[in-house]
Every structure is written in structure tokens, then in C-alpha cells.
Structure 1
């Protein structure tokens, strides 16, 4: 790996700033942490990490070049991603106020399965055009075409694991009882706030 150390450091730095910037992934992990707790948020974070592998795979296969050369295909991808974010936003906006005495029991009854949480995180990241553009830039502008595919695969696996660890760490913090309690006191207003954020993100993705 030593001949590619400079390239790896550049990729690691770019990835850190990309994954740390607020976006759909962060909004969903925040909502899952507050609404469903640590286990659910950790599974959502794992789904986000798996979504990274989708971007890495199509970049290695050359599909990223096709996306960059076909505005119609990329626009279709954007609209699909925007529709999914809007769907989640509308779901959050439809949250209704619940009596305080029923909040705990309702949260338990409405708990998502681990597979649902994993799928939610996976779809949010895999359908994120921002991530598509990021990986397209990495694999066409930053990574040397002569870099072996095995090394490029290592870069991709690193970014997937780093993404998973980042959002898992956030999940551990956001799902603490004190943090959850602060947000849950706002009840459905928190859900509606996240719903507005998701709708704005959907609009930004489409535009």
C-alpha cells in the first residue's frame, strides 16, 4: 500500500469531511435514534455503511462513467432519491401528538424490526445523489486510473467501514436516555421538524 499512501490519505480526508457534513444520512440516523433507540439506530447506521458499497461497486464496474455521460439517467436517479426522502418526510409530518402516559408504550409498539432499520439506512445512502457525485469525483478525478482495482476496492471498504463507525458513534450519543428525553419532550413536533428537513433535502436533491 505504500505507493498509494498519499492517494489514500487524500481519499480519507475527503471522505471524512463528506460524511461529517449534515445530510439525509444524518437526518435519518438522528430520527431513528430518538424515535426507536440505540439498537435501531445502530442497524440504520449499518445500512448506511452498506449503501456505500453500492457506490463503490458501480464505480469499479464503470457505471459511474455512464451516469456522468447520461444526464437523463442521472436525473431519473435524482428523482427517485428525492421521492424516497419526500416519502419519509411526509410520514414524519403525519406524526400526531400522544399523551405523555402513552409515549413509552407507543414507542415500544411501533418499534421497527432490525431488517427494516437496516433497509432504511441502506436506501437513504444508496439513493443519495450527493454520495453518487462524491464517489464519481473520487474515482474519476482523485484515484489514478492505473491504481489496481484491488487497491480501489480497499479504498471502498475503508470508506464503508468508516461511515458505519461514524454513524454508529453518533447513534450511541443520540440514543442516550438524556438526549432522547430532551427530544421526546417535544414529541410530535420533533417528528414534524425532521419531516420538514427531509422534505427540504428532497427538494434540494431534485433541484
Structure 2
């Protein structure tokens, strides 16, 4: 929103470097997902991190950690930079820009909250307990493929 897309557009080598670094990071995440698939423990281990046992402090810790993960996610950054560069006029008032950022944050919180509720339901947890290792390995393969594609694609 503050000209990052123009900056990256004018310095082509920087864009390419970010693209390669992001691709390599995805490959690393995919390999880690494959290697550590199934190492997270049993159903009892999953129950140990429930919100009921840890209360509000756990909620804010999760919110902080989730925000840090999302802010460091190259995909999310590229998506929002691209969206804001196209949708927000450069001469928009600072209040308009702040409102857009706040609304984006609330949409993200609502989305991940919905995902949390749906995937922590007993049926979803049962599926994950049975097939979690293969789900994580499949995700690992997909991340490696996307990482290779991103790192080798022309900017």
C-alpha cells in the first residue's frame, strides 16, 4: 500500500531474489512436513492444547503466534501487496488505508477462527488421527512442487 509494489517492480533483481527465496522456503517446509509427518502424538496429545484447559492466555498467545506466522508468509504478503496495489488508489486518505488494513485483519481472524472451529470438531479430529501422517506427507509434496515452480518461474 505504501509503494512496495512499485519498489519491487523497479528493482527486478530484488523481485527475483524474493521469488527464489520464497520458493526455497516452501521446499524446506515441504521436506519438514514429510520428515515429521505423524510425529505430533496421539489423540491425547492433541487434547492437551485445547482452549478449555488454558483459557484466555492461550487465545492471545495463539493470536500472536498466528499473526506472526501469517505476516511472515510470503504468499500472504504477495497476495495483499498485489491486491492493495491494484485496489487502493495511491491518493487514498490514511484513514481509508487504515480501515482497509483493519478490515483485512478482521477477515483473516474470522477465516482462521472458522477453520479452527471446523477442524477441531470431533469428526475432523478423528479423520486427522487416522490419516494425519498421509495428509502431512501430501502437503509436503505439494509444498515442494509449489516451491520448485515458484523458484524456477520467470518473474
Distance 2:76 2:92 in 1: 24
The alpha-carbon deviation at position 116 of structure 1 amounts to 8.4
Question: So what's the TM-score if we normalise by structure 2?
Answer: 0.71
Whether 1:202 aligns to 2:140 is no
User: What does residue 55 of structure 2 align with?
Assistant: none
Deviation sequence 1:62-94 (CA, Å, 0-9, x none) = 233211211211122222222222222111111
Quickly say closer, same or farther: Cα 1:158–1:120, change in 2 above 3 A.
Answer: closer
CA deviation string 1:116-159 (max 9, x = no partner): 89546634553324642x33443333222221122112111111
Structure 1 unaligned segments of length 5 or more: list them: 1-58
Equivalent position SS for 2:42: helix
* Residue 181 (str. 1) matches residue 120 (str. 2): no
Match of 1:128 in 2: 74
Please provide the CA RMSD for this pair.
3.1
Give the 3 Å change call, closer, same or farther, for CA 156–185 of structure 1 in structure 2: same
Q: CA separation in 1, counterparts of 2:7 and 2:139?
A: 34
**What's the counterpart of residue 71 of structure 1?**
12
> For 1:1-207, what aligned pairs fall within 5 Å after superposition?
59-60=1-2, 62-95=3-36, 103-105=42-44, 107=46, 118-119=64-65, 122-123=68-69, 125-129=71-75, 131-132=77-78, 134-206=79-151, 207=153
- Gaps in structure 2 of 5+ consecutive residues: 51-57
Per-residue deviation, residues 155-189 of structure 1 (Å, max 9, x unmatched): 11111211121121112101212111112202422
Taking structure 1 as the reference length, the TM-score comes to 0.56
Q: Find the aligned partners of 1:121 and 1:84 in 2 and give their Cα distance.
A: 18
Contact 1:85 1:124 in 2 (8 A): no
Contact 1:184/1:190 (CA < 8 Å) preserved in 2?
no
